[in-house]
Homo-oligomer: A and B are copies of this chain.
């Protein structure tokens, strides 16, 4: 007896997923900007899930948000990435911005169901923010290039980090879609997550008015709360991976039931009765159930941390990050293995490109490289053996 809490948000996400599933393979191949998909998310009111009802939001929790990402990922990994990144990008309003800024932007984003992209990836050299006039109060001009910028090309607004050329501090600003000087590279042609709109973007003297400055994003300004973006995005990853695994296994099981043949040396009447096929499914499903349970725990922990607000301590933030890191490790390992193993339970004919069963592997094989899982494992081990919490970075 599974005691599953099926919320309205889960149902809304499942409904969106069902629509995305219809042509997930064709859309993956087409590799187009996910504009229709973004609209679908808006129609299900998923973008505003986390915002307070007072600003036209859905009033949901981070557990709801993570669960929605997971449900969408069952059908479409790319769009799950867009949605998950959106939640974290938008959360900078709650966690980094001051009260007036937060309210101003939430009031705009909520009713409009905006999707938030980002150009924050810290592996690249930083973008430059040149003060216009006298410091941040006068706004900035933004220039530079980011190699990976999920959702900048398809999102309504984007969170962008850059270095203030006068102070050297890392500043977080909002850039609206279609702003002059923003040039998406249109160069995302990768193995997986093909619709995630993750290509490069070049900023050339983009005007950033003062009201678009959200706050600082560096060690000096970091608070436990402001640094929640890292465990949050990593929890998105974990939820996304377990969703893809469920999608792969469900798709494979449908194929095994409907199409696979019993092997000629098997005593079983059908592939769906073969002892090896069933045990292989069973082991993968068992691991999936465990990863899902851990994802649920991570969701609950993120809710608690979010609710703690300014009272959140570094220790609590560290414990959350460790739990999420554990989720990252088990979900990454499972995802890469399970999405490749599904072929073993469907058989040779399932490699036809008409079936497209490889898209699950392509998606997680691509995205799990975001940051090396070995370093996440080291982080978990360091916590267990030495009781440490890693310092805040955009990866830890």
CA A385 to CA B257, docked complex, whole Å: 7
Q: Which of B190, B285, B308, B384 meets A351, CB within 8 Å? A: B190
Whether B253 pairs with A308 at a CB distance below 8 angstroms is no
**Shortest CB–CB separation between residue A338 and chain B, in angstroms?**
11
A sample of 15 inter-chain contacts (CB < 8 A) reads A189-B352, A253-B384, A276-B279, A282-B329, A282-B381, A283-B380, A286-B330, A287-B290, A289-B297, A290-B293, A293-B294, A340-B361, A344-B373, A351-B365, A358-B365
Q: Which of B267, B304, B347 meets A3, CB within 8 Å? A: B304
* Given known A189-B353, A279-B374, A371-B263, contact A300–B381 (CB-CB < 8 A): no
CA A278 to CA B319, docked complex, whole Å: 17
Q: Which positions in A face B, CB cutoff 8 Å?
A: 1-3, 122-123, 148, 189-192, 249, 253, 256-257, 261, 263-267, 272-273, 275-283, 285-287, 289-291, 293-294, 296-297, 300-301, 304-305, 308, 312, 316-317, 319-320, 323, 325-327, 329-330, 333, 336, 340, 343-344, 347-348, 350-354, 358, 361-362, 365-366, 369-386, 393, 395-396
A355 closest partner in B (C-beta)? B191
Q: Which of B273, B290, B382 meets A291, CB within 8 Å? A: B290
Whether B330 pairs with A290 at a CB distance below 8 angstroms is yes
* Given known A304-B1, A351-B365, contact A376–B282 (CB-CB < 8 A): yes
Q: A1-B317, A281-B380 are in contact. List 5 more A-B contacts (CB 8 A).
A: A275-B275, A275-B378, A290-B294, A358-B362, A358-B365
Whether A330 pairs with B1 at a CB distance below 8 angstroms is no
Whether B373 pairs with A249 at a CB distance below 8 angstroms is no
Whether B253 pairs with A377 at a CB distance below 8 angstroms is no
**Which residues from chain B contact A396 at a C-beta distance below 8 Å?**
265
**Shortest CB–CB separation between residue A71 and chain B, in angstroms?**
18
Whether A329 pairs with B286 at a CB distance below 8 angstroms is yes
**Shortest CB–CB separation between residue A118 and chain B, in angstroms?**
16
CA A225 to CA B169, docked complex, whole Å: 60
**Shortest CB–CB separation between residue A254 and chain B, in angstroms?**
9
CA A189 to CA B351, docked complex, whole Å: 9
Q: Which of B263, B279, B329, B361 meets A283, CB within 8 Å? A: B329
